[in-house]
Chains A and B, each alone.
Chain A
Amino acid sequence: MRRRLHPAAALFMGLCALVLALPILVVMAAALNGGRTMLFPPEDPTLARFAEFFAGDPVWRDALWNSGLIAVSSAVLATALAWPIAYLVWQGGSGLSKALAAAGAMPFALPPIVFGVGLGFLWAFTAGLGTLWAGILSHAALFLALPLVTISVGLQSIDRAHLDAAATMGATESVMLRTIVWPQTIPYTVSGLFFVMVLSFNEFIVMFFVSASAFTTVTLQIFNSLRNGFTPTMAVAAILFVSVSITAFALVARWGDLPRLMGAEPEHD
């Protein structure tokens, strides 16, 4: 399947990539503006906005800290919850474990604004509204579907013959889990973790309802200033976010088989 693309096809793909990158490139270029307004092409280019974002304004520093904390914690939590569910379903699964997988995938499959409104009500009744831990739990629930999928893909890729061989030689389930299942699913587990981390970092609407303006994240902070016009400092946040995403997914691609993870056939060569 390694033949050259038709030039028109390559051109079409390039055009798609250009349109895809265009708005983000414009935002990034706007970060170089010397003045306070967002102009494109940038006027009086400077890197002062970067210093402002990372070291200067405490509003942005706090928002960045909250974004990072929520992203990392909810990613760990979602992965930890998804693992046993995916494992139980893979084992042949009772009705309950399948129901668990369905329930876990539901928030991601429905319009996020509705889930956000519902979580807002839930946390209002349980004194969680506006707390960081409620934010972490909310994102873990919203993105649970992602590690569920990646870990399931990983479990399905395990050769049953290995398990049969181990069982014949008298390995218990916990020994097999530790020596066969776990090592082979590590790349898929880590991928799921990274997916949640990146999406949580970028998520807006659910966090808006859950935070109730008691804390801000970077995306919330940017939305707050949306109506008052953009500032070049916000564009620095965009650069940071895109860099984090590219790094995370490049790491996934480096240690795992990304085409396989996204659903292509395993490579035969």
Chain B
Amino acid sequence: MSDESLPAPRAGAPGPGARIGGGTLLQVGLAVLLAFLCLAPFALIVAISFGEKVQGAAWIWSVDPGNYARVFVGALWPEEFSGLYLQRLWYSVLYATLGAVLAVATAFPFTWFLTRTGRRAQTIWLVFLLSSVSVSEVFVVMGWDILLSNRSGLPMVARETGLTDWLKAVGWFDTLRGWGLANPRDLKFKTSATATVLTMTYLVWPYAVILLYPPLSRLDPALTEAARTMGARPATVIRTVVLPVLRLPLLGAVMFLFVYLLGVYVTVSVFAAPSQQTLAVSIYDAVRGATLDAPFGAAQSVVLLAVAALCLWFGQRLGGRGA
């Protein structure tokens, strides 16, 4: 499992060296533990994804690619094509992309202003942001569920304040109905793709600020000042100097958030219509929920993992090229 012949880690370390045995032993111990805790789960998913379900919620080891066929073309292929799981994958990618892009696009100006405030104000904002990022998804969903619920949330506010009637009067109500954001009488946000994407954006928004904070606060002030002294307006400076310099951190943030959002479960299960749910929901159903087919759940997990890995690899390549 580990390479015993590796030299002890001494390269940059000052001081006399005679501790090789202990250091290597520690590394090998850590390697075994991390291989078990951090790598074995992923290896097991891959191995089990080739397993076969047997009657009564159990499964056996196998080398059957059938689970993957079921994800991509349906269980009855080639007689019949079913794109059900491809559609779920599509919604996973769609929601995650929209959520990540929206979050980074709105977090960018915020972070820009944040790094322009004093150190003390920054500290207070950071405490607020970190507290908000760590609020459990279940609480976030609970809060938005109340805010968007038809009886006591924003639809009720819109009705009481006359906004709904006004929308009906100017004819925009029918447009909203077309988008699935209203029922015949009132505004309606549950269930809708809009509510799902907005809640996802909300979930990762503080993460976006935290990811953009280091590059923005380390941005050389000379860059923007030079552009300003040459007469560029602030908006022009942002567009022609700041954004090009920061394109890699921005793209990196979108990718990190995208990967995180691929696996969001609670939000989708509460806010998305059954026909618009994601792979994360069907993984849940297969492994612990209604359908109980662990190998199939594992195969879907591998597909999700592959999308995530592809995205991270792509980001790494871009980052490597940029550096």
Contacts and interface: CB of A to CB of B under 8 A. Distances in A.
A203 interface: yes
Contact of B218 (A16, A85, A263): A263
B247 interface: no
Given A111-B262, A265-B217, A100 B30 contact: yes
Given A222-B138, A242-B131, A259-B217, A103 B34 contact: yes
Given A106-B38, A203-B136, A205-B265, A91 B13 contact: yes
Interface string A229-257: 01000110010011001100110110000
Interface string A128-161: 0000000001101100100000000000000000
A199 interface: yes
Contacts of A253: 123-124, 126-127
Contact of B12 (A91, A99, A202): A91
Contacts of A1: 115-116, 118, 221
Given A39-B152, A253-B127, A92 B287 contact: no
B259 A111 contact: yes
B106 to A, nearest CB: 7
Contacts of A249: 126-127, 130-131
A91 B142 contact: no
A127 to B, nearest CB: 14
Interface residues of A, number: 101
Contacts of A117: 41, 45, 283, 287, 297-298, 301
Interface stretch (B82-90, B236-244, B304-312): B304-312
Interface in B68-123: 106, 109-110, 113-119, 122-123
Contacts of A167: 14-15
A17 B3 CA distance: 50
B11 A92 contact: yes
Given A112-B263, A226-B270, A246-B131, A24 B39 contact: no
Contacts of B298: 117, 121
B222 interface: no
Contact of B136 (A5, A99, A241): A241
A32 to B, nearest CB: 13
B62 to A, nearest CB: 15
A114 B260 CA distance: 11
Nearest to A106: B38
A12 B113 CA distance: 9
Interface residues of B, number: 102
A171 to B, nearest CB: 7
A194 to B, nearest CB: 9
Nearest to B13: A91
B263 A259 contact: no
Most chain A CB within a 10 A radius of its CB, from B124, B135, B294 = B135
Contacts of A24: 132, 135, 139-140, 143
29 contacts: A9-B116, A16-B106, A20-B205, A23-B144, A24-B139, A97-B9, A111-B262, A111-B280, A111-B304, A113-B280, A113-B304, A117-B41, A117-B301, A141-B37, A164-B14, A201-B134, A202-B139, A205-B263, A205-B265, A219-B136, A223-B138, A238-B135, A259-B122, A262-B213, A264-B115, A264-B217, A264-B218, A265-B218, A267-B119
Interface of A: 1-3, 5, 9-10, 12-13, 16-17, 19-24, 26-27, 30, 38-40, 81, 84-85, 88, 90-97, 99-100, 103-104, 106-107, 109-115, 117-122, 125, 137-138, 140-141, 144, 163-164, 166-167, 171-174, 176, 198-199, 201-205, 208-209, 212, 219, 222-223, 226, 230, 234-235, 238, 241-242, 245-246, 249-250, 252-253, 258-259, 262-265, 267
Given A226-B270, A265-B218, 11 more contacts: A1-B116, A91-B9, A91-B10, A93-B9, A97-B27, A106-B39, A107-B38, A109-B259, A111-B305, A114-B45, A263-B218
